[in-house]
């Protein structure tokens, strides 16, 4: 059978209803219903709910004939053997943990789409040259143990695993202890060493943004992950009585913080609307209506796919804030800086070709959000497949993707995995 015919068979074998049923069943583990009827998920990593979700996944994988293994970071692997068992596997997957008020698709979709694609490949009688592995990365969200992506960072050696040992959750539990408990409770699973160099990595995910839906596209061909810089700005003034203190004698932290944000709006202005600039937190002290504010702390989330823009405008933040002060003083602290990740062309090109062969409208785009793929891109050719999600909403119970959009992503993924595992 020719390669393209095999890929077409695999895509056709994707079972839309089975994928949807599994998404819904998985979403009930840690699931809750909001007052306005949305079905949210709260499934912290390394929790009993996380283990319940993994057991469900393992049951489906074994029924499909996949081999299960776990590594020291509790990353879970489901393997379809290749004709050459010693060849570097093609890796796909995402994560199973959620934000505290998360949705049913973020992460779970990438794992279940991977399982669906691999099951479709196997059911089509295709025996790929290379093994294909579906992975569920540990702690992508960082909702319980921050920062996230500790599973993929450990796997890729982006950071030594021990660096995360002493992270604590809100109850004071150490990451290392939670991980050891998980490994003990899953000691029936075959274990494997940490990390390897995959032949390629591809991750399916909801877009978590509105572009695909707004532009009527079926598939996002992700070309990289934009860079990100996070700042905390502290504006210090002096509190005074709101009724007695003339405005000319005040050091009003709210007013100078507002001037700073206006100046930052100008600095970050982008007519192409590619740059992302967000002030999402703004906290006032003493925060009473009849006292002039003595302090404001606000955050800056700044992202751009171009390293130069990220550097130049980010480096101008402190001076821009300082110039905006009239009576207060300001301190700017950069607490996070991630350079843009550009994916090598191989996987994006294969994704785009697969979408075209399926008659799906595809858009090349960077990812606005972080993903485990960011770290895999350092090891091997990497790509992502985005599907549209309603209103671009994510990290929220209202997060939703249609059954057909989910199936489209799995169909593209099945073709891509066939292609990448063929040689």
Residues 370 to 399 in contact with a copy of itself, rule: CB under 8 A: 370, 392-396
Give the contact letters, 158-197, x = binds to a copy of itself (CB under 8 A), - = no: ----------------------------------------
Segment near a copy of itself (CB under 8 A), from 4-12, 111-119, 121-129, 266-274? 266-274
Residue 258 interacting with a copy of itself (CB under 8 A)? yes
- Smallest CA-to-CA distance from 350 within 423, 294, 242, 400 is with 423
For the CB of residue 113, give the shortest distance to a copy of itself in the complex, in Å: 19
Taking each helix axis from N to C end, the angle separating 3-12 and 346-357, rounded to the nearest 10 degrees, works out to 70
CA gap 410, 118 in Å, rounded? 9
CA gap 296, 283 in Å, rounded? 5
Q: Omega before 122 cis (within 30°)?
A: no
Q: Classify 406 as helix, strand or coil.
A: helix
Q: Omega before 286 cis (within 30°)?
A: yes
Residue 152 interacting with a copy of itself (CB under 8 A)? no
Segment near a copy of itself (CB under 8 A), from 184-192, 242-250, 355-363, 405-413? 242-250
For the CB of residue 262, give the shortest distance to a copy of itself in the complex, in Å: 7
CA gap 77, 192 in Å, rounded? 10
* 55-58-61 Cα angle (round to 5): 155
CA gap 300, 233 in Å, rounded? 8
Using CB under 8 A as the binding criterion, the count of chain residues that bind a copy of itself stands at 72
Q: Which residues pair with 285 in a beta bridge?
A: 295
Token pair, residue 261, equals: 């944000």
Touching a copy of itself, residues 80-109 (CB under 8 A): 99-101
Of the residues 28, 286, 312, 331, which one makes contact with a copy of itself according to CB under 8 A: 286
Residue 316 interacting with a copy of itself (CB under 8 A)? no
Q: Nearer to a copy of itself by C-beta: 204 or 353? A: 204
Of the residues 235, 293, 328, 414, which one makes contact with a copy of itself according to CB under 8 A: 293
Residue 422 interacting with a copy of itself (CB under 8 A)? no
Of the residues 91, 228, 263, 354, which one makes contact with a copy of itself according to CB under 8 A: 228
DSSP one-letter code for 174 = B
Token pair, residue 157, equals: 């050696």
Q: Nearer to a copy of itself by C-beta: 83 or 323? A: 323
Touching a copy of itself, residues 13-72 (CB under 8 A): none
């Amino acid at each position: 059978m020719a390669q393209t015919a095999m890929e077409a068979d695999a895509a056709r074998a994707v079972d839309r209803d089975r994928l949807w049923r599994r998404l819904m069943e998985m979403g009930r583990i840690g699931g809750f219903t909001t007052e306005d009827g949305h079905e949210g998920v709260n499934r912290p990593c390394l929790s009993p709910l996380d283990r319940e979700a993994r057991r469900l996944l393992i049951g489906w994988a074994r029924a499909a004939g996949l081999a299960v293994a776990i590594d020291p970071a509790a990353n879970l692997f489901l393997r379809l053997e290749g004709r050459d068992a010693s060849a570097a596997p093609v890796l796909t997957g995402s994560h199973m943990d959620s934000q505290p008020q998360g949705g049913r698709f973020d992460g779970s979709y990438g794992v279940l789409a991977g399982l669906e694609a691999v099951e479709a490949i196997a059911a089509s009688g295709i025996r790929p040259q290379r093994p294909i592995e579906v992975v569920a990365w540990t702690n992508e969200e960082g909702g319980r143990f921050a920062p996230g992506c500790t599973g993929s960072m450990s796997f890729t050696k982006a950071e030594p695993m021990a660096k995360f040992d002493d992270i604590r959750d809100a109850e004071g539990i150490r990451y290392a202890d939670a991980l050891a408990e998980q490994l003990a409770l899953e000691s029936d699973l075959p274990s494997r060493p940490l990390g390897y160099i995959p032949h390629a990595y591809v991750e399916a995910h909801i877009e978590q943004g509105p572009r695909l839906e707004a532009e009527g596209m079926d598939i996002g061909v992700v070309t990289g992950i934009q860079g990100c810089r996070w700042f905390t700005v502290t504006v210090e003034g002096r509190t005074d009585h709101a009724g007695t203190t003339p405005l000319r004698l005040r050091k009003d932290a709210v007013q100078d913080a507002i001037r700073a944000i206006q100046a930052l709006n100008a600095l970050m202005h982008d007519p192409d609307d590619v740059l992302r600039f967000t002030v999402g937190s703004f906290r006032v002290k003493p925060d009473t209506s009849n006292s002039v504010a003595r302090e404001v702390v606000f955050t800056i989330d700044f992202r751009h796919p171009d390293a130069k823009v990220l550097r130049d405008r980010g480096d101008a933040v402190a001076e821009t804030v300082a110039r905006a002060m009239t009576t207060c003083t300001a301190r700017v602290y950069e607490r996070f800086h991630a350079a843009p990740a550009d994916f090598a062309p191989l996987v994006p090109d294969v994704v785009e070709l697969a979408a075209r062969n399926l008659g799906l409208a595809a858009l090349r785009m960077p990812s606005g959000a972080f993903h485990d793929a960011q770290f895999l891109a350092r090891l091997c050719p990497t790509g992502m497949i985005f599907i549209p999600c309603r209103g671009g909403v994510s990290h929220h119970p209202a997060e939703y993707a249609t059954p057909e959009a989910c199936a489209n992503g799995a169909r593209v993924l099945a073709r891509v995995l066939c292609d990448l595992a063929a040689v």
